[in-house]
Amino acid sequence: MSNANNHESSKLYSTIFDYLQVSFPKTWKRIIFYTIMASESYSMKYFIDYGDGNFIDCFSAKDADQRMIRKAFMDVYQVLNKHRRQLPEKEQWSTFVFSINNEGKLKVNYGYDEIQSFHNKEVELEKQILSPSNANPVSSLVKTEAKKENTDLTGKMNDIENSLMSVKEELLKLNVNFKEIMSQTIELEKDINAYYYEDGIKKLCIISEKIKRINSDYSGIIADQLSSILINSFHVTEIIPVKGESFDPELHERINSAQIGSTIKSCLMRGWRFMDHTLVRAIVETE
C-alpha cells in the first residue's frame, strides 16, 4: 500500500477514534467497535473491556451515556459512509471492525461478505468478539490480507491525556462549580434529546405511512416530503423488501400470522430502521 493510502487510512481511523472516544468510559483497557453497512442501512456497536478480559456491550455498561453514544455513531456513520461510497464498487466493504487498546495499539479489519440479514451478521460478529475461547477476542476477525491496517495512536492519546490534565489543573485552581456549568447547558441538552428522541422519530415514520395512504391529490407529496426529512435529517433508513428476499423477523412482519412462508411475496408497507435497530417493521406477504 502506498504512503498516500497509509496516510489516508491513518487519518480515517484517527477521525473515527475522535468521534467515538467522547462516549467512552473514563477508564478502559480495550474497545472493539464494529459496523455493518449495506445500501442505505447500517448497524453499529462497540464493546468495552475494563481490564478483566470481559467485553461489555456499550449500551449495557454501567456508566453508559446512550445519548452520547448515539450521537457519536451518527458522526462516525457520516465519515464511514462517505469513505465507502468513494471506493470502487468491488472494494466497498460490508463490515468494519476497529479494535484499540489504551496504549493506542490499533487493529482494523474489513469484511466483504454479502449481507443477507443484519441481525444474523450482528450475532455472528458479536459471538466472535465475546468468545471466551479467544485469547485475543479480535484475532478471529483480523485477516492477513492487504486490507488489514495497523497504526499507532499512542501520540494522539498522550496528547489527549496531557490536555485533560491541564484542564483538570485549571479547574482545580479556579474552583469551578460544576453544578453551575450543568445548569447553564440544560437547554442545550433538551434540544439534543428532542432531536434524538426515538419515540418521536418512530411516530413520524408511522405518520408518513398513514399520510401516504390518504386518498388525496397532495397526500403523496406530503408523505414524500416527510420521508425526505426522516432520511436526510434524522438519518432513518427505509426497509423495502423485494419479492424473493428471505423473511427476517428483525426487519419484517407478516400481514397474517397464519402465513409460514420464508420468502417475501410482496411488500405492503415499508418499514424504518434507526441506528442499529428497527423502529417499524415492514409489513409483508410471504410464500
What are the sequence ranges of the domains in the chain? 3-152, 198-286
What is the pLDDT confidence band of residue 147, given thresholds at 50, 70 and 90?
Answer: very low
Q: What is the pTM of this model?
A: 0.49
| Residue 118, all three cell numbers | 443484519
Per-residue pLDDT, averaged over 82-109, amounts to: 90
Domain spanning 3-152: CATH superfamily: BH3703-like domains (3.30.500.20)
Q: Is pLDDT at 184 greater than 60 in this prediction?
A: no
What confidence tier does 89 reach under pLDDT thresholds 50, 70, 90?
confident
Q: State pLDDT tens for residues 104-131.
A: 888 898 999 888 888 888 888 888 888 7
Instruction: Specify the residue for cell string 411475496.
Output: 265
Of residues 49 and 188, the one with the higher pLDDT is 49
Indicate the residue type of 164: L
Q: Is the confidence at residue 33, as pLDDT, over 90?
A: yes
SS3 105: strand
Q: What is the pLDDT of residue 234?
A: 76
Beta-strand runs (E) in the chain: 30-38, 41-49, 55-57, 95-101, 106-111, 237-239, 252-254, 264-269, 271-274, 277-280, 282-286
Question: Which CATH superfamily does the domain covering 198-286 fall into?
Answer: Head domain of nucleotide exchange factor GrpE (2.30.22.10)
User: How far is Cα 67 from Cα 73, in angstroms, rounded to an integer?
Assistant: 10
Exposure string of 244-263, with b = 16+ CB inside 10 Å and e = fewer, is: ebebbeebbbbeeeeeeeee
For residue 142, is pLDDT > 50? no
CA of 32: how far to CAs of 37, 52, 100, 150, in Å? 17, 15, 7, 15
Fold match between domain 3-152 and domain 198-286: no
Q: What is the mean pLDDT of the chain?
A: 78
